Amino acid sequence: MASQETSSRTVVPGYESVFGKAKGMVFPRIVLVGHGVLDELATTCRQFGFADRGVVVTGPKTAELAGRRATTILQEGGFRASMVVAHEANEPEVERVAEEVRAAQAEFLVGVGGGSKIDITKVVAARLHIPFVSVPTSAAHDGISSPRASLHGAESTVSTEGAVPIGVVADTRVIVQAPFRLLASGCADVISNLTATLDWRLAVRLRNEEYSSTAVALSEYAAQEIIDHASSIKPNLEESVWIAIRPILVAGIAMSVAGSSRPCSGSEHLFSHALDRISERPSLHGEQCGVGAIMMMYLHGGDWKRLKNALLTIGAPTTARELGVRNEEVVKALVMAHSIRPDRYTILGDNGLTREAAERLATVTGVIGS
């Protein structure tokens, strides 16, 4: 596949969206996906009309994988580019990176890494009001192109506003080198869109929430694409990255259309966030959302077995054991989930599940043993 694949370029009308200016929607203007597209980074940045000073934000491991290369490509393309190595995605690290970006007088950023490094970049870009390009080295969740970022607090993970990338350069040659578990997690995160959109429709009926049919269509399309091609998503196969990365990107764009995380975050995400707080060793975000989606689809009366089978086919977890968490932690997370975001109405309702209902739900769906 690698020898035959060429890059795929998608151009989305810029900051004045075709979906309407009134809602202030912002989308990536250019998305490059394919083998070796990292080499086009400088050319792409020139297309955006960026000024000469730029900073590449990356991590200790991803610097060696692609961060240094990205910096060199920009320098060879005539940019005055430097590199900042970021660490854990938390508020102090965001402030430290922001200070280094200010000191470099950067006029654009390039985030190179997994979810946390891109999250740091998008928050810094938003606060400093400068554009950024997203260069993922893995695809563990849908944050590659979304306007949301997750920062770790003292007690929990906090979702915060970030900048939408002006462009995305997703080099499948680079991403395939990441552990397959990360790609499977990203696929599970997107599959869980199907319960998020059901929750949103429920909130529209019961709470008269604002709703975007376009955002829902994009979100559900992304999930269905992953499910339909689940058997083709396999380890050590660059074509699998090619298949999975597009729906993952579309899911992020769905959130831009909605102006919130609603189309991709519902009761299954509340379960995941609760598990983060309860578990001694929480799993990957996307993995937990996938398991949560199995249970929430059961509550909605939908085809939860179809979701579970897709996750099994890809190789994503479907049980507490596979997540590496205890059965009791799953039950406690289910009971707590409704309280994580009281403003977000879901199938869990205002009062949540009783312990008995939570235990039965997890048992019936096979998430925990009987």
Give Cα 316 to chain centroid, integer Å.
16
Smallest CA-to-CA distance from 262 within 301, 296, 218 is with 218
Residues 157 and 53 in one domain: yes
Query: What pLDDT is attached to residue 143?
Result: 82
Residue 288 is part of a domain; what is its CATH number?
Answer: 1.20.1090.10
Query: Taking all residues of the chain, what is their mean pLDDT, rounded to a whole number?
Result: 91
Residues 171 and 189 in one domain: no
Query: What pLDDT is attached to residue 13?
Result: 34
- Number of CB atoms found within 10 A of residue 334's CB: 29
Query: What pLDDT is attached to residue 370?
Result: 60
Question: pLDDT tens digits for 55-75?
Answer: 999 999 999 999 999 999 999
Query: What pLDDT is attached to residue 4?
Result: 39
Q: How confident is the model at residue 324 (pLDDT cuts 50, 70, 90)?
A: very high
Query: What pLDDT is attached to residue 146?
Result: 85
Q: How confident is the model at residue 142 (pLDDT cuts 50, 70, 90)?
A: confident
Token pair 């989305």 is found at 12
Question: pLDDT tens digits for 209-219?
Answer: 999 999 999 99
Q: What is the CA radius of gyration of the chain?
A: 20
Structural domain including 85 reads 8-178
Query: What pLDDT is attached to residue 156?
Result: 62
The CA distance from 112 to 73, in Å, is: 13
For residue 369, tell me if it sits in a domain.
no
Domain boundary among 145, 163, 178: 178
Tally of domains in the chain: 2
Residues 225 and 163 in one domain: no
Question: pLDDT tens digits for 77-118?
Answer: 999 999 999 999 999 999 999 999 999 999 999 999 988 899
Residues 197 and 301 in one domain: yes
Query: What pLDDT is attached to residue 346?
Result: 98
Question: pLDDT tens digits for 18-59?
Answer: 333 334 556 889 999 999 999 999 999 999 999 999 999 999
Instruction: Determine whether 363 is exposed, middle or buried from the number of CB atoms within 10 Å of its CB (0-12, 13-18, 19+).
Output: middle
At 298, phi and psi to the nearest 5? -60, -45
For residue 370, tell me if it sits in a domain.
no
Residues 156 and 199 in one domain: no
The CA distance from 310 to 308, in Å, is: 5
Question: pLDDT tens digits for 252-310?
Answer: 999 989 989 999 999 999 999 999 999 999 999 999 999 999 999 999 999 999 999 99
Domain boundary among 142, 161, 178: 178
Domain boundary among 147, 178, 209: 178
Residues 202 and 172 in one domain: no
Residues 66 and 114 in one domain: yes
For residue 3, tell me if it sits in a domain.
no
Residues 238 and 153 in one domain: no
The proportion of the chain whose per-residue pLDDT surpasses 90, expressed as a percent, equals 84
334: pLDDT strictly greater than 70: yes
